[in-house]
Structure 1
Amino acid sequence: MRIISGKFGGRPIHPPRGLPVRPTTDKMREALFNILQAYLEWEQVQVLELFCGTAAVSLECISRGAAGVCCVDQDRRCVAAARKMFQQFGVNNARVVQRRAEVFIKQCDEAFDFIFMDPPYQLAGQAALIEAILERGLLLPEGILVVEHTAHLSFEGLPAYSFSRNYGSSSFSFFNIAT
């Protein structure tokens, strides 16, 4: 794994072995950020990454100039790995929270420009999490929500759904983008 672009571009990411994650591939992250660059000016962006795992997406956002990131994961090993990675890269505008995503969404009183959610593909209730994010106002009016999921899952009927992009057995669904 590596950082695709920005001030850390090209630097490798070395998450610890044995984390209970399925990291977003370099190819998919590059495709994601190629799409996002048309919609976001990174210097002002506040980011929320739910189910952060290795926090590679947040680190990519920081590398591109994001104002700040908040990473959430319930697994203590993922939280420790994310904190260590931010420390290794000298990042001081990242917050890492150990909490279940559902609980964080219910308790959060902040709003974000970009929310990335990469739950375990088999997790039940992903649509309910998306709806809760939108209903609770975690996404700013001009913000973008992206969900990584198995290509067999569709969120087309949900509020604010914009479009999806498939990459083999995985997909990104984009919400709140005026098309």
Structure 2
Amino acid sequence: MRIITGSYKGRHFDIPRTFKARPTTDFAKENIFNVLRGYVDFDGTTALDLFAGTGSISLELVSRGCKQVISVEADRDHADFIRRCFAKLGDDRDVLVRGDVFRFLKRCRQQFDFIFADPPYTLGDLPQLPDLILGGNLLAPGGIFVLEHGKDHDFSAHQRFAEHRSYGSVNFTLFK
């Protein structure tokens, strides 16, 4: 796994083979961040990375200048890996929350300029995530929410739908 651009551009982290998480591919990550340049300037923003997995998106967000990133990950080994990655960088802008995303969303009172969610594609509650996040006052005015999902989901009828992008088997839906 590598960081594509920003202050940590080119840094690599070896993901243990035992991990169940699938990091967003470099190809998909690079393309979605190119699209996001038209929506958000990450410098000085606050971001939320839900289902953080390997921490790939959190690392990218910090590298691109976010002042704070909250990474939520339930798996102990994955959370430890994220913690070690940021320790290697010597960067304290990531706040790691080890716990259930749905419990976190119910309790969170902070607003974010950018929210990214990469749940397991087979997650039964995946279709409810946009309403849960957007209805929970978590997205700051003018903010963007990106949901990574498989090809079986279509959110184009959602009232806050902005656009959809597909890169191979990886799909992203953007909400405003």
> TM-score if structure 2 supplies the norm length?
0.96
SS of 1:32's equivalent in the other structure is: helix
Q: Structure 1: which 5+ runs fail to align?
A: none
> What do the CA deviations read for 1:127-159 (whole angstroms, capped 9, x no partner)?
212211111111111110001110221112223
Alignment of 1:14-25 (within 5 A): 14-25=14-25
The answer for the alignment partner of 2:92 in structure 1 is: 92
User: Is the 2:127–2:153 Cα contact (8 Å) retained in structure 1?
Assistant: no
Name the aligned partner's letter for residue 35 of structure 1: V
Name the aligned partner's letter for residue 162 of structure 1: A
Distance 1:105 1:99 in 2: 11
The answer for the alignment partner of 1:39 in structure 2 is: 39
User: Is the 1:160–1:175 Cα contact (8 Å) retained in structure 2?
Assistant: yes
User: Is the 1:127–1:158 Cα contact (8 Å) retained in structure 2?
Assistant: no
> What do the CA deviations read for 1:31-88 (whole angstroms, capped 9, x no partner)?
0110111221222210100000011111111111111100001111111111111111
The answer for the alignment partner of 2:81 in structure 1 is: 81
TM-fit CA distance, 1:9 = 0.6
Distance 2:137 2:9 in 1: 32
User: Is the 1:113–1:140 Cα contact (8 Å) retained in structure 2?
Assistant: yes
Give the root-mean-square deviation of aligned CA atoms.
1.0
Distance 1:45 1:151 in 2: 30
Distance 2:127 2:140 in 1: 19
Name the aligned partner's letter for residue 5 of structure 2: S
Distance 1:102 1:12 in 2: 30
Distance 2:13 2:28 in 1: 15
TM-fit CA distance, 1:100 = 0.9
Q: Aligned residue pairs: how many?
A: 176
User: Is the 1:44–1:66 Cα contact (8 Å) retained in structure 2?
Assistant: yes
The answer for the alignment partner of 1:118 in structure 2 is: 118
The answer for the alignment partner of 1:4 in structure 2 is: 4
The answer for the alignment partner of 1:72 in structure 2 is: 72
SS of 1:70's equivalent in the other structure is: strand
Between the aligned residues of both structures, percent identity stands at 39
Name the aligned partner's letter for residue 13 of structure 1: F
Distance 1:170 1:42 in 2: 22
User: Is the 2:9–2:63 Cα contact (8 Å) retained in structure 1?
Assistant: yes
The answer for the alignment partner of 1:134 in structure 2 is: 134
Residue 170 (1) aligns with residue 170 (2): yes
SS of 1:144's equivalent in the other structure is: strand
> TM-score if structure 1 supplies the norm length?
0.95
User: Is the 2:83–2:96 Cα contact (8 Å) retained in structure 1?
Assistant: yes
Larger displacement relative to structure 2 (40-49 or 109-118): 40-49
